[in-house]
Amino acid sequence: MAVRTCLNVSRSLITELREGTLESLMLTPFSRYGYFAGNMLQQTVTSMGEIALAFILCMPFGFSAQGFSLPFFLLSLMASLVAFFGMSMMLGALMLYTRDTYISQNTLFIFMYLVS
């Protein structure tokens, strides 16, 4: 989930730049927060769908969610999404500054995996 949300939300900026629509997008009177929040929502919904599908496919193989706590899950999901959103904004700014996607995103993900 971290990879999908951080990577795709931050990559949306560099995609707009490469397609030549970033300047016109930034000149229009729209909510920049709404643009990124909508992109984050899309990535979150598709990620949650993939997770639900993985749970369903694992049930015939003995998967059991007896210790699952829905309130704790929702609280940790919200905290994680806020953190992922912030990291994707910083990564997007770094990608725009360096005009590169692969080195900056790979460096961030290596750091995330080593720290966690």
Q: What is the pLDDT of residues 12-24, one digit of tens each?
A: 888 888 888 888 8
Q: What is the pLDDT of residues 45-91, one digit of tens each?
A: 999 999 899 989 999 998 888 888 989 999 999 999 999 899 888 88
At CA 83, angle to CA 55 and CA 104, rounded to 5? 100
Euclidean distance between CA atoms 101 and 111, whole angstroms: 16
pTM of the model: 0.78
pLDDT of 50: 92
Q: How confident is the model at residue 41 (pLDDT cuts 50, 70, 90)?
A: very high
Residue with tokens 């984050």: 40
Euclidean distance between CA atoms 34 and 23, whole angstroms: 17
The number of residues in the chain equals 116
pLDDT of 31: 83
